Structure 1
């Protein structure tokens, strides 16, 4: 598997964190994905640590209903930093209701930081 494939797989697991409706499973996945002290930052919040990140995602999920996040494309990745696009929309098909970009900082195959941008 190439490094870009590894990064894309990590990004897809990260979006699974946003899509999982189960709070306990989401917390467990956040602990697996993020380094100790890992952060998630977007225009609305800076959350530090897996528990805070999972709690923020739980609150945000209430706004999404049945919408799901999907990977758009991996734009670039090098030196432990990757940039990818995402879409939020109906499962399976349809026009997305939101799109954006995430920049992720990777340490030892885990997320040290995620910066989310809405397009």
Structure 2
């Protein structure tokens, strides 16, 4: 089961690194329920359209320049339709993590994300 959860975390993180808005939109549709909610300490996002905006803004701010990218830490765990995993924003040139955090995600019955709580450590 852990391998599947780590694969899920890797797919989720790949979304945040995706340069093509159309492919980001497709990934959001494949990962998130239509009325999914995404929470950070600073904002709330509701539904796929707002998710597209949120992910696009994060991509432009952190990844687009080529300096940073995100990667999942292969430590995903879960139970009762929930998943928790760590991630890192790393410097592409050095591979060193500049920011770390974790997401706690709940899934609907079909395996799509219902809620996503993102924490930055």
Q: Which runs of 5+ in 1 are unaligned?
A: none
2:58 pairs with 1:60: yes
Matches within 5 A, 1:25-40: 25-40=23-38
Q: Distance in 1 between matches of 2:38 and 2:53?
A: 11
Q: CA deviation at 1:98?
A: 0.5
Q: Which residue of 1 aligns with 2:111?
A: 109
In structure 2, what is the Cα distance between the partners aligned to 1:57 and 1:75?
21
**1:35/1:92 Cα in 2 relative to 1: closer, same or farther (>3 Å)?**
farther
Between structures 1 and 2, the one with greater strand share: 1
Matches within 5 A, 1:44-55: 44-55=42-53
Calculate the TM-score normalised by the size of structure 2. 0.87
For 1:11 and 1:92, locate their aligned partners in 2 and report how far apart those are by CA, in whole Å: 23
> In the TM superposition, what is the alpha-carbon distance from 1:10 to its structure 2 partner?
1.4
Query: Paired residues, what number?
Result: 117
Partner residue of 2:5? 7
Moved over 3 A (4+): none
Q: Does the Cα contact within 8 Å between 1:74 and 1:82 map onto a contact in 2?
A: no
CA RMSD of aligned residues (A): 1.6
User: Which segments of 5 or more consecutive residues in structure 2 lack a partner in the other structure?
Assistant: none
CA contact (8 A) 1:74 1:84 kept: yes
CA contact (8 A) 1:85 1:102 kept: yes
Aligned to 1:118: 120
Secondary structure of 1:63's counterpart equals: helix
1:7-60 deviations in Å (ceiling 9; x for gaps): 221111111110101111101110111012011111121111112111111112
